[in-house]
Amino acid sequence: MGLKTNALIFVLFAISIAEIRGQVGQCTTLTPCACVYDDGVIVNLTSLSRNDGFPNFSNKTDNHGDVYSWNPCTPFSYVGPKNNTECTNVSVCMVRHGFPSDLYFNLGTEDSAQFSVDVNGTLKLTYTKTEDGFQRSAEISLQCLDSSVFDFLVIQGEQDINNDTIVYKMTLASKWACAYAPKIDPALPSAGLGGGAIFAIVLFSLIGGYLLLGVAYQAFVKKESGARLCPNHEFWFSIPGYFKSGKKPLSETKGGAYESI
């Protein structure tokens, strides 16, 4: 068997043994590379997109030798040796080798991207290109490979013509085809913590540290117990009495005596 056949068998085997997760319900198109299911989870293909003008998936062939390239989210241009312009700013391009020159087919642009779920629950991303009353459509089935670190694009290729429409089928197997709960957009404003909250956190942290270290010192160094475990207990326990009498508390001087403060 050839290298391409072995690779196809490997991909199909990986799909069959990997953990494949599916969702229930429709997935409404949000952007050309993201959709949201009825329960709020999202499929987002942004991480599969290249932004340098080249397709992330390129030169993928089907059993007939046709060559396919695809880049989610961002358009690319594929110019042939004779300055072919059919695949300019496209999402999907197909090249069919021929004589005297190759044929280039635009299979859809970014603005035509639509997500849908078929009767079997398979999520699909479809691109379309209509020209001279004839429509070409690239239909990409999205399979969630939750535990895979690789991304596979398998080409089934051109299907039979139906009512002046040709469908070109592919299958993407990737962890990026999995639905996930949306996270908070970092671009959105956040309430955060105000200055007062930060001051309170710092203040109570200092008080807690003071009490913890003070009690440890009183217990293990000075061998105190009971109420005398409180650091500087004479000062703290005298405060309520001064409030009642209207006097100011005393502070201890370096000589050991007390004076008014």
pLDDT band for position 219 (cuts 50, 70, 90): confident
Residue 260 has φ and ψ, to the nearest 5°, of -70, 145
pLDDT of residue 227: 73
Model's pTM, two decimal places?
A: 0.62
Residue 190 placed within a domain:
no
pLDDT above 90 (res 197): no
Regarding predicted confidence, which is higher, 2 or 60? Answer: 60
Confidence at residue 162, expressed as pLDDT on a 0 to 100 scale: 76
Give 248's DSSP letter: P
Give tens-digit pLDDT for 14-65.
444 444 455 668 899 999 999 999 888 999 999 999 999 899 999 999 998 9
- Euclidean distance between CA atoms 152 and 180, whole angstroms: 20
Instruction: Tell whether 66 and 155 lie within a shared domain.
Output: yes
Q: Is 167 helix (H, G, I), strand (E, B) or coil?
A: strand
In this predicted structure, which of 144-148, 163-167, 215-219 has the lowest mean pLDDT? 215-219
169 and 205, same structural domain?
no
At 195, is the pLDDT very low, low, confident or very high (cuts 50, 70, 90)?
A: low
Of 9-13, 172-176, 224-228, give the lowest mean pLDDT range. Answer: 9-13
Where on the phi/psi map is residue 255: left (φ > 0), alpha (ψ -120 to 50), or beta? alpha
Whether residues 151 and 215 share a domain: the answer is no
Average pLDDT in the chain: 78
Task: Please state the length of the chain.
Answer: 261
Weakest mean pLDDT among 22-26, 72-76, 87-91, 142-146: 22-26
> Which CATH number fits the domain that encloses residue 159?
2.70.130.10
Residue 177 dihedral angles phi and psi, to the nearest 5°: -90, 0
Do both 242 and 154 map to the same domain?
Answer: no
CB count in 10 Å sphere of residue 132: 6
Q: Is residue 188 part of a domain?
A: no
pLDDT at 32: 94
Kindly state whether residue 260 falls inside one of the protein's structural domains: no
Strand 152-158 and strand 250-252: the pairing is unpaired
In the block, residue with structure tokens 């009971």: 226
Q: Is residue 55 part of a domain?
A: yes
Long-range CB contact pairs, 161-167, < 8 A, 24+:
164/133, 164/134, 164/135, 165/134, 165/135, 165/136, 165/137, 166/134, 166/135, 166/136, 166/137, 167/137, 167/138, 167/139
Q: Which pLDDT does position 128 carry in this prediction?
A: 95
Is residue 15 one of the residues assigned to a domain? yes
Residue 88 confidence (pLDDT) above 50: yes
Whose CA is closest to 143, among 107, 166, 118, 160? 118
Instruction: Tell me: do 44 and 169 sit in the same domain.
Output: yes
pLDDT at 28: 94
Q: How far apart are the first and last CA of the chain?
A: 96
Please tell me the predicted confidence (pLDDT) of residue 69. Answer: 95
Q: What is the mean pLDDT of residues 100-117?
A: 91
In a domain, 185, yes or no: no
Share above pLDDT 70 across residues of the chain, in percent, rounded to a whole number: 74
Range of the domain at 210: 195-255
* pLDDT above 60 for 256: no
Same domain, 26 and 123: yes
Is the model's pLDDT at 240 over the cut of 90?
A: no
- Domain boundary among the residues 150, 177, 204 is at 177
Distance in angstroms (rounded) separating the CA atoms of residues 45 and 35: 9
Count of structural domains within the chain: 2
143 forms beta bridges with: 173
